[in-house]
């Protein structure tokens, strides 16, 4: 049986192996053109160029004091419309460029995979993956003999239990597990309380909004009633003098 500290170390090693394994899988893929980076750069350049050009075109008539205000407003509206059209066209061009770069990448990957250097690289990566898989199985075998139950074989749980034992809050693994369960339930209850508070605050805002709307409607109705009363009084006065 392995103890708490050994279990923690095994879990740490498992995490390292998992990260290394993912890195090896990612390194198997040949490197091509970074399409996203290229499109982001082109998008930034295009936005600056398009907005700069059309903003200057929109502002230019206002620098000429002899131009009619109607011409200035018309140029402004036309400039905004043309700026939007230019942006849409540029976005379509970027989409086409992205598709072209994707096709180029596919072609690049095809020829790279045919090279001997890439085949040797993949073979080396596969050997490392096999070694990592064997080590991962060995670590899992060690975890089977851990004094920690399967439900609590996580770095967070073991760190908490280790602190409890070192601080004297727990004397056994069972006591530490009970404290961990209580802590999880406490955190869950706090989260539920925060969520309920958020819902109540949202309901309160909605209720206040409804009250304000109702007050406005009542005030509007009262104003209409006063106006109607004033109109009726005026009609009575006029009828009196007829």
Q: Residue 31 corresponds to which tokens in the numbers above?
A: 């490197």
Average pLDDT over residues 50-65: 77
Average pLDDT over residues 103-127: 89
Residue 67: pLDDT over 70:
no
Residue 57: pLDDT over 80:
no
In terms of Cβ atoms closer than 10 Å to its own Cβ (0-12, 13-18, 19+), residue 125 is middle
Q: How confident is the model at residue 193 (pLDDT cuts 50, 70, 90)?
A: very high
pLDDT of 13 reads 94
pLDDT of 30 reads 81
pLDDT digits 0-9 by tens, 212-241: 888 888 888 888 877 777 776 666 666 655
Average pLDDT over residues 182-195: 92
Count of other CB atoms within 10 angstroms of residue 148: 23
pLDDT of 10 reads 92
Identify whether the C-beta of residue 11 lies closer than 8 Å to the C-beta of residue 122. no
Average pLDDT over residues 133-161: 91
pLDDT digits 0-9 by tens, 2-34: 888 899 999 999 999 999 999 999 888 888 778
pLDDT of 16 reads 94
Give DSSP secondary structure letters for 86-104. HHHHHHHHHHHHHHHHHHH
pLDDT digits 0-9 by tens, 73-102: 787 888 888 888 988 999 999 999 999 988
């Amino acid at each position: 049986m392995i103890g708490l500290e050994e279990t923690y170390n095994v879990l740490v090693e498992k995490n390292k192996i998992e990260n290394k394994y993912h890195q090896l899988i990612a390194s198997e893929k040949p490197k091509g053109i970074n399409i996203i980076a290229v499109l982001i750069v082109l998008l930034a350049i295009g936005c600056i160029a398009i907005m700069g050009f059309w903003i200057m075109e929109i502002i230019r008539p206002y620098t000429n004091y002899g131009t009619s205000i109607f011409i200035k407003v018309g140029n402004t509206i036309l400039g905004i419309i043309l700026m939007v059209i230019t942006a849409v066209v540029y976005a379509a061009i970027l989409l086409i460029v992205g598709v072209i770069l994707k096709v180029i990448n596919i072609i690049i990957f095809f020829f790279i995979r045919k090279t001997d250097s890439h085949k040797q690289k993949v073979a080396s990566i596969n050997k490392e993956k096999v070694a990592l898989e064997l080590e991962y199985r060995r670590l899992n075998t060690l975890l089977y003999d851990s004094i920690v139950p399967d439900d609590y074989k996580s770095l967070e749980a073991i760190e908490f239990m280790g602190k409890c034992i070192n601080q004297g809050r727990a004397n056994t693994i069972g006591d530490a597990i009970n404290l961990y369960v209580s802590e999880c339930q406490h955190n869950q209850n706090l989260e539920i309380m925060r969520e309920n508070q958020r819902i109540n605050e949202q309901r309160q805002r909605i209720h206040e909004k409804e009250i304000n709307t109702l007050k406005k409607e009542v005030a509007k109705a009262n104003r209409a009633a006063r106006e109607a009363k004033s109109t009726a009084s005026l009609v009575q006065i006029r009828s009196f003098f007829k």
